[in-house]
A and B are shown apart, each in its own frame.
Chain A
Amino acid sequence: MSRIKEFNLPDLGEGLTEGEILAWLVKVGDDIELNQPIVEVETAKAAVEIPAKWAGRVQAIFHPEGSTVEVGVPIIAIDTDPNAGPIEESTTAAPASDLPAPSAASLAAVEVAPAEGMVEPGLIGGVAPGGRTAVLVGYGPRNAPAKRRPRKGDVPAQPAAPVQAAAPAAPAPAAPAPVAPVPATAVNGNGRVSGPVLAKPPVRKLAKDLGIDLATLTGSGPLGSITREDVQRAASATATAAEPQPVAAPAASAASFGADREQRIPVKGVRKLTAENTARSAFTAPHVTEFLTVDVTRAMKALDRLRDRREWRDVRVSPLLLVAKAVLLAVKRYPMVNSTWAGDEIVVKEYVNLGIAAATERGLIVPNIKDAGRLSLRELADAMTELVQTAKSGKTSPADMSGGTLTITNVGVFGVDTGTPILPPGESAILAFGAVREQPWVHKGKVKPRLVTTLGLSFDHRIIDGELGSKFLRDIGDFLADPEAALLAWT
């Protein structure tokens, strides 16, 4: 009797489809107890620890930290009787790395717990690679190819693909099995662009049960909706055709410009959000961008003096801190830049939630410092340090990212001079802070090497005209050119 059990990522909320592995709390070879926390997973709703379902020894971990896993996909294999000697099936050869794909052999060794092991009767293919098992609660992982249940009276001619996939001799996939293989029928035959498909719920259910992708059908019902007859016609067509999908074999050695040399990355998570936000902002707010090059030598010296002070010894002091201060002071002088276009009115905010764009492993995120205008320089420095650390560790909460009113993007850290930033939705100004470089500069009538940077300010022309935007940018520049004088003059 097999003793290796694979644990599938469950639906941790209600109707969630995926989760991100934040941290593994165990490693291969560890002995674990029942209900011992093994992994921390973040979903759209919460970051939670998952307790071990079985006691035993960790046999394999299938997904590294940081990866996003679909619900229903195995994430860990546990040897439930590690002291019973070696495992008969040759899984021992497999895990050279900590992250093997579930191999065919290990799958064969998987014992499916009785309650979840009831393979739906009549289901073609049985357990698919990846150990897909029946769903108990929630809304159902879909990690197996669309399953076709044969209707009574059908010729037992079955679609080729799923059967092959289930054949025990199928080689183990080299990489973790793709989580949502597209059923063969989904490959678009008639060139229709996918979009919302009109069909009544019972028709959708029928199509699902028959393994028909509605997106491939042309509806004959009202408003082009797909009818029961459309689905049944498609089902009988696929049953008789049983066509293997023609895979265009790449020409032997000729340069190919086809799919085999293209990578397709699903758009989701932070990338999706960034795409939506930037596109929305770029095509609704009329952007104007202005530039200003400033000699920041004095400001850099001021920073050095700050660092030397005893009470600032343990504080992280960066040029960005001064830029933030400059922006906050300038906002006080020109409050209109800290506003939102709300259609028939302009909402000018007395508080500044200062966004700092941060490049993280998860992608671009823009957490903000709440009510930054009220913070002292020291408090601002601490807040920025914390914000960056939180962002780097991937623990920025949605609350940290919402409600921003004005943003700084520090593109200088990437070694470029400046940029034309795109406004975060709902904000009307964003400042790009370029690299600080030593450059020839006219200083007191002579060309001297000075520390120089370029600021780029984008603003929403619906609210901010050139005059106001220029004055605001000029003020930021004045502060950075001579912070002490600006502080004396303005505060």
Chain B
Amino acid sequence: MAKGDPGAATRSKRAAPRTRRAAATGEPELVQLLTPEGERIESALGPDGTEYRVDFTDEEYRGLYRDLVLVRKLDAEATALQRQGELGLWASLLGQEAAQVGSGRALRTQDMAFPTYREHGVLYCRGIDPIMPLGLFRGVDQGGWDPNEFKFNMYTIVIGAQTLHATGYAMGVAMDGKTGGEDGEAVIAYFGDGATSQGDVNESFVWASVFNAPLVFFCQNNQYAISEPLERQTRVPLYRRAGGFGFPGVRVDGNDVLASYAVTRHALDNARNGQGPSLIEAYTYRMGAHTTSDDPTRYRIASEVEAWQAKDPIARMKAFLTKQKIADESFFTAVDEQARTESVHLRERVLAMPDPQPVTMFDHVYPNGSPELDEQRARFTQYMESFEGSAH
């Protein structure tokens, strides 16, 4: 990761060199490189003794901050659009920006990602136009991006199902001989704490393990499976479950974009080098509702939300950039302005999305159609045409 830029030497001076063992932080066994107060920790040890560190240029630090702010703002705009009747539903990522941007930026171009329906931040990092998921949630298309082009699969609504897809894909990668070197391909599967109770996820653990699949299981533990708290999902920290399946697990501060990056990059590199799967538990918090159909005030208390507010991923990054004089107020203002402009642009494009013709619902069922479907389409078209003034 070392970039050898002029800023590197000065930075090592201003950041106190210290290594923190994960278990010593008070929080249970958490890899952290940036504290909630914005203090930089030089390196941190994982439970298996792996030392995690990052060495970014100033420009890269600022880039990560920009990613976090943009992702949050675009997400807020989507939530507002749902409240205004322009989207059917929205699953907000509020609070989970660092886990998504950190892991998303850790992906190399050739790596393949399998998201849930909340990975808007990873989608953004993959270079996909943020309008894409809004078409899906507006109900006018099926998602719109090409998973092969962007190496980012379609959103999966079924809880945990994508871990099986990812496992199969990763096994295929290994069988194609694409692992075993620095340029190897790795796969990442995203899921939440609630999904760890699903059979699919546990089956994926088994298969990925015994077939040594180049797969990183990235669990964003946001503490709630809709309304069900973590203590109803597990008696042990989730990352420790990996041990029972025979691969390493690590818990990272999911509100720390630097640690999320470091841990994910390490796990991906292990996978691409043929060292098999691993589990990352990004310990974070869903600041908003599960989706716009949910009301979190019915099952969690305000003081808990406030406690996590103090661990906000963007605030700590801003504090760090300010203290280290990596960015100044004009930079922050410019980022806010960029976020505002992009969100307004996003809104305009959502409002301009055309409604699809009803008959197009037959278009993407089979790649080459089927006799039965063709007949249904013909009948439906005939039905629509029986009305005056119909386009069909």
Mark A residues whose CB is within 8 Å of B.
Answer: 7-14, 34-35, 45-51, 53, 113-115, 118, 121-122, 134, 136-138, 149-152, 154, 209, 397-399
Contacts and interface: CB of A to CB of B under 8 A. Distances in A.
B88 A14 contact: yes
Contacts of A115: 86, 351-353, 355
Contacts of A50: 83-84
Contact of A137 (B139, B295, B391): B139
Contacts of B390: 121-122
A433 to B, nearest CB: 30
B295 A8 contact: no
Given A138-B88, A151-B388, A152-B386, A48 B83 contact: yes
A122 B388 contact: yes
Given A121-B389, A122-B389, A136-B139, 4 more contacts: A8-B85, A150-B387, A151-B388, A399-B299
Most buried by A among B80, B83, B86, B352: B83
A253 B150 CA distance: 78
Interface in B206-260: none
Interface in B376-391: 385-391
Contacts of B289: 46
Contact of A151 (B83, B352, B386): B386
Nearest to B293: A13
B202 interface: no
A239 to B, nearest CB: 13
Interface in B48-107: 77, 80, 82-89
A64 to B, nearest CB: 21
Contacts of B88: 11, 14, 137-138
B267 to A, nearest CB: 36
A35 B352 contact: no
Interface in B282-310: 289, 292-295, 297-299
Contacts of A51: 80, 83-84
26 contacts: A9-B85, A10-B84, A10-B85, A12-B292, A12-B293, A14-B89, A45-B293, A45-B294, A47-B295, A50-B84, A53-B84, A113-B351, A114-B351, A114-B352, A115-B86, A115-B351, A118-B355, A121-B389, A122-B389, A122-B390, A136-B85, A136-B139, A137-B87, A138-B88, A150-B387, A151-B388
* 4 tightest A-B CB contacts, nearest first: A10-B85, A46-B295, A122-B389, A137-B88
B138 interface: yes
A35 B86 CA distance: 13
A260 to B, nearest CB: 37
A48 B90 CA distance: 14
Given A10-B84, A136-B138, A397-B298, A152 B388 contact: yes
A48 B385 CA distance: 41
Contacts of A8: 85
B353 A7 contact: no
Given A45-B293, A46-B293, A115-B351, A122 B387 contact: yes
B67 to A, nearest CB: 22
B139 to A, nearest CB: 4
Most buried by B among A51, A118, A136: A136
Contacts of A49: 83
Most buried by B among A12, A47, A121, A137: A137
Contact residues on B (Cβ < 8 Å of other chain), bracket: 20 to 34
Contact of A10 (B83, B299, B355): B83
Contact of B295 (A14, A45, A53, A114): A45
Contacts of B351: 113-115
A266 B389 CA distance: 37
A35 B355 contact: no
B349 to A, nearest CB: 11
Contacts of B82: 12
A46 B85 CA distance: 15
A51 B295 CA distance: 16
Interface string B6-40: 00000000000000000000000000000000000
B80 A149 contact: no
Contacts of B139: 136-138
Given A8-B85, A136-B139, A48 B295 contact: yes
A446 B355 CA distance: 86
A241 B90 CA distance: 48
A185 B336 CA distance: 56
Contacts of B352: 114-115
A7 B83 CA distance: 11
Nearest to A398: B298
Contacts of B86: 10, 115, 136-137
B298 A399 contact: yes
Given A11-B85, A51-B83, A151 B295 contact: no
B80 A35 contact: yes
Nearest to B297: A47
Contacts of B80: 35, 51
Given A10-B85, A35-B80, A48-B295, A137 B138 contact: yes
Contacts of A48: 83, 292, 295
B387 A152 contact: yes
Contacts of B355: 115, 118, 134, 136
Given A121-B389, A152-B387, A13 B84 contact: no
Interface in B316-363: 344, 351-353, 355
A149 B391 CA distance: 13
A32 to B, nearest CB: 13
Nearest to B352: A115
A66 to B, nearest CB: 19
Nearest to A202: B383
A45 B294 CA distance: 6
Contacts of B140: 136
Contacts of B293: 12-14, 45-46
B156 to A, nearest CB: 18
A426 to B, nearest CB: 21
A14 B89 CA distance: 7
Contacts of B386: 151-152
A134 B358 CA distance: 14
Contacts of A9: 85
A53 B299 CA distance: 29
A258 B88 CA distance: 44
Nearest to B354: A115
Interface in B112-142: 138-140
B196 to A, nearest CB: 25
B74 to A, nearest CB: 13
A398 B295 CA distance: 12
A477 to B, nearest CB: 39
A114 B348 CA distance: 11
A122 B392 CA distance: 12
Contacts of A397: 298
A231 to B, nearest CB: 13
B83 A150 contact: no
A149 B387 contact: yes
Nearest to A48: B83
A9 B86 CA distance: 11
Nearest to B350: A115
A149 B295 CA distance: 39
Nearest to B386: A151
Contacts of B298: 46, 397-399
Contacts of B89: 14
Given A12-B83, A14-B88, A149 B292 contact: no
